[in-house]
Amino acid sequence: MKKITKAEATRAKKLLDRYNKQTNAWLGRDSYTCICCKEKEVKLLMPHDGIRDLREQQQEMWRDGTVFKVFFGYGSKLDMDGFFMGLCDDCALELEEKRIVVNIGELIKRARKYDPK
Ligand SMILES: [Zn+2]
């Protein structure tokens, strides 16, 4: 097999990057309305290069909140459906304060301190 040169590899990588950009246009949303207050917007933090995986929008960086994905399972009317949802920082903190949601970090701290004696 003929060896390729570093220059050929660099050209091939650039061509592949261009191909990925033209075939993976970002179709995801740039913002989500908070599902709790239904007012505040959770917005995409960084401009998009169009080569991210649409199925993993929760892994993007979101300003003033987060986006998460939820799948419904057996027993739900929405079995097999999945959704992306936004939640603003203020609502997450309010829900934590009201003990409607659980802060995972705090839960782990409590578990480490737990002494069953
Ligand atoms: Zn909110």
Q: Return the pLDDT at 51.
A: 62
Of the candidates 57, 52, 79, 76, which has an alpha carbon nearest to the alpha carbon of residue 68? 57
Contact assessment for residue 32 and residue 45, using Cβ atoms and an 8 Å cutoff: no
What is the Å distance from ligand 1's center to 7 Cα? Answer: 51
What is the Å distance from ligand 1's center to 61 Cα? Answer: 17
Phi, psi of 73 (to 5 degrees): -115, -165
d(C-alpha 16, C-alpha 53), whole Å:
16
Per-residue model confidence as pLDDT tens digits over 45-98: 987 666 667 788 888 899 999 999 999 999 999 999 999 999 999 999 999 999
What is the Å distance from ligand 1's center to 87 Cα? Answer: 6
114 secondary structure, DSSP code? -
Mean pLDDT taken over the chain? 89
Instruction: Evaluate the CA torsion angle 90, 45, 34, 82 in order and state its sign.
Output: negative
**Residue 17 above 90 pLDDT?**
no
What is the Å distance from ligand 1's center to 100 Cα? Answer: 14
**Residue 113 above 80 pLDDT?**
yes
pTM equals 0.70
Q: How far is CA 115 from CA 7, 108, 110, 111, 112, in A?
A: 62, 13, 10, 9, 8
d(C-alpha 70, C-alpha 82), whole Å:
6
Q: Please give the structure tokens belonging to residue 52.
A: 């991210």
